[in-house]
Amino acid sequence: MTPVIVWFRDDLRLSDQSALHAAIETGRPVLPVFILDDGSAERWAPGGASRWWLHHSLAALQQSLQECGARLTLRRGDSVATIADVARQTGAVEVFTGGSVDPRARRLDQAAAAALGGGFHRMRTTTLFHPDSVRTKAGGAYSVYTPFANACLALGGPKAPLPAPRTIRGADPLVSDCLEDWGLLPGKPDWAVGLRETWTPGEAGAMERAEAFLDHGLSGYAVARDHPAHDGTSMLSPHLHFGEISASQLWHMAHRRPAGPARDIFIRELLWREFCANLLWHHPALPDAPLKPEFAKMPWRDDQAGLRAWRRGQTGVPIVDAGMRQLWHTGWMHNRVRMIVASFLVKHLMMPWQDGEAWFWDTLVDADLASNAGNWQWVAGCGADAAPYFRIFNPILQGKKFDADGVYVRQWVPELGRLDPRHIHAPWDAPADTLTRAGVSLGNTYPKPIVDLGIGRSRALEAYARIRESA
């Protein structure tokens, strides 16, 4: 019997996998396929940290499919040509796959649908709701988060998740690439040590983290989520990005926990993800161009030395450096600190938000076209429902408020480890003998700030005010 193909893309799991489910329902043998299409000069090809994650996630998926009776075929090349080729080789006339909000994937879908005719089925696997099902009363797209979230909540929640199949009638396997040969893992230097220490990619790892967070973290989430030194958030973002757990599964799992403000806030965070996905669906240029067109005229600076210092966590501003080093070591950064480091780059240094977005893209294990672009534009003030232009995060006050004891800074910036909490967020203001006692020599053991925060702030405010006037 000719098989049906399941084309895995952004949904590397077996449970709540509507494409896989529909394929099994046909009663035909199932051929699972994953295509690595990274040969083009695509600007948003997966970055280093994403490739590391993808390797491990695919290894886990291969294993779970095999345990159910199916073999994952791996192919590398142009997605559309490859899926059409696999269909030709096997005689399959039906391909089931997950939908994506990524503009490139949408273009490829159109081409694949044309190549495969009526047998191309795209199912919703990555978002809670189909982006076209959440619209304003006038039928338009939402550009403000709160009414968008309220509209989602009014839909009454996503459908109950589908169970994972116990067995799959696997099709005769095709010749497959070897995952190891794809070179997704770093060679030398091996920069992935911290990633290995921090994460367990794959569906089982995702479920374990989700259960642990919902059982032990959710009740304290409302407060703890803002404090980067605490394990106060779920750290599920990379698992969600690779679709190792679906947003719908999480929604329903959360709703099996006691109701209350913490649960509501968590659901609303999932809706921020949904909002960003929705924005990208309606504004495919979101990763590259400001949603507010007047921001194209922003007089950004070209401070390459500042950008380098920011990337390396050597700006001399402790909470910024702590965040950037957490990112480099673990492939992840706490949300509060993401806002602080992003604000520092685009406002204090006046560097284009796209430079920060590109660095996050390469280094985050949860790098997500929609959430990354949506949040960078939000911080820069040029996006949907953006932070007001005059909101410039003060890294000293943010540090004092959300890392009052300096535990987070001490963890990631050990050079300041012996500095007391009163001075840890602004060591340049500490008395000389305090610095000496703590073994800190500014400009030697730890950098002096690369920008005067007051001057940087005024410069940004002036530029932003000019843009506003010209709008």
Ligand X SMILES: Cc1cc2nc3c(=O)[nH]c(=O)nc-3n(C[C@H](O)[C@H](O)[C@H](O)COP(=O)(O)OP(=O)(O)OC[C@H]3O[C@@H](n4cnc5c(N)ncnc54)[C@H](O)[C@@H]3O)c2cc1C
**Least distance to ligand X, CB of residue 375, Å:** 3
Residues 6+ apart with CB under 8 A from 196: none
Nearer residue to ligand X within complex by CB, 79 or 126: 126
> Does 44 engage in binding with ligand X (CB under 6 A)?
no
Three-state SS letters, 295-334 = HHHCCCCCCHHHHHHHHHCCCCCHHHHHHHHHHHHHCCCC
By CB under 6 A, is residue 273 in contact with ligand X? yes
Cα(374)–Cα(183) distance, integer angstroms: 30
User: Residue 279 interacts with ligand X (CB under 6 A)?
Assistant: no
Which residues, other chains included, contact 16 with Cβ-Cβ below 8 Å and sequence gap of 6+? 125, 161, 162, 246, 248, 249
Q: Which of 86, 270, 424, 435 binds ligand X (CB under 6 A)?
A: 270
Q: If binding is defined by CB under 6 A, does position 227 make contact with ligand X?
A: no
Shortest Cβ distance from residue 337 to ligand X (Å)?
9
Amino acid identity at 304: Q
180 flagged as catalytic: no
Known catalytic membership, residue 269: yes
- x/- binding map, residues 395-434, to ligand X, per CB under 6 A? ----------------------------------------
Phi, psi of 352 (to 5 degrees): -60, 140
353 catalytically annotated: yes
Torsion region of 69: left, alpha or beta (phi above 0 gives left; psi -120 to 50 gives alpha) = left
Copy the structure tokens of residue 353: 């938000």
Kindly determine how many residues on this chain lie close enough to bind ligand X according to the rule CB under 6 A: 27
272 catalytic residue (yes or no): yes
Residue of 191, 294, 335, 394 marked active site:
335
Site string for ligand X, 327-356 (x = CB under 6 A): --------x--xx--x--------------
Q: Which of 332, 376, 378, 412 is catalytic?
A: 376
Looking at the Cβ atoms of 271 and 419, the one nearer to ligand X is 271
Active site includes 335? yes
State which amino acid sits at residue 454: G
Between 70 and 286, name the residue whose CB sits nearer to ligand X.
286
Nearer to ligand X, 22 or 204 (CB): 204
Instruction: State both tokens at 358.
Output: 């590109």
108 binds ligand X (CB under 6 A): no
**Residue recorded with tokens 């280094």:** 363
324 contacts ligand X (rule: CB under 6 A): no
Give the residue with the Cβ less far from ligand X, 55 or 263: 263
- Options 38, 78, 269, 385; binder of ligand X; rule CB under 6 A: 269
User: What tokens does 419 get?
Assistant: 């500095």
How distant is the alpha carbon of residue 340 from its chain centre? 17
Q: Which of 199, 281, 310, 353 is catalytic?
A: 353
As a whole number of angstroms, the distance between CA 292 and CA 154 comes to 29
CA distances from 98 to 2, 60, 61, 93, 239 (A): 21, 19, 15, 17, 16
Which of residues 30, 58, 235, 386 is near ligand X by CB under 6 A? Answer: 235
**Widest CA span in the chain:** 81
Candidates 225, 329, 410, 459: give the one binding ligand X (CB under 6 A): 225
Nearer to ligand X, 364 or 460 (CB): 364
**Residue 428 annotated in active site:** no
Give the pair of three-digit tokens for residue 113. 């649908």
Go through 108-118 and write b for each residue having 16 or more CB atoms within 10 A of its CB, e for each that does not. bbebbbebbee
Q: Which stretch binds ligand X (CB under 6 A): 180-188, 236-244, 381-389, 406-414?
A: 236-244
Binding positions for ligand X, rule: CB under 6 A:
225, 233-237, 240-241, 269-270, 272-273, 276, 335, 338-339, 342, 360, 364, 366-368, 371-372, 375-376, 379
Active site residues: 269, 272, 300, 335, 353, 376
